[in-house]
Amino acid sequence: MPQKITAVIGSGDQSGTPIALMQQELARAKRKIRAINEDVLNSRGLTEDEADAAIEAGLIAADQKYWWLEDWQKRYRKAEEDIRKGCIQEFDSPEAFLNSLPS
């Protein structure tokens, strides 16, 4: 076994080790993923580190990482709020949309 790994496994307090930190990130990611799946509008998104841990563990796909991040979740919540408030406009065609824009 490599000496570095042996030292980590054999030490008393491992809370600051890379393995322990990744486990903490993964535990937070699992809680947040569960919360998002249960109630996307009242949940917090993942941090970059949490998302990376979730990808490494196979909980989320790497190409979907953006969706799980807090920045994207915040925008998603705002869009859903706008829809609920009726702050949207529907168009019958792309041309109708373009014609609605100020010249």
What integer is the mean pLDDT of 52-70?
96
* 89 φ/ψ angles, rounded to the nearest 5 degrees: -140, 130
* pLDDT tens-digit map of 5-57: 444 444 455 556 788 888 999 999 999 999 999 999 999 999 999 999 999 99
pLDDT at 8: 46
At 15 the pLDDT is 57
Indicate the number of domains in the chain: 1
Question: Following DSSP, what letter does each residue of 13-78 receive, concatenated?
Answer: --TTSHHHHHHHHHHHHHHHHHHHHH-GGG---B-HHHHHHHHHTTSS-GGGHHHHBHHHHHHHHH
Look up the domain containing 95 and give its range.
Answer: 3-100
Non-local CB neighbours of 1 within 8 Å, separated by 6+ positions: 9
Q: What is the pLDDT of residue 85?
A: 95
Question: Is the pLDDT reported for residue 93 higher than 50?
Answer: yes
60, 33 Cβ separation under 8 angstroms: yes
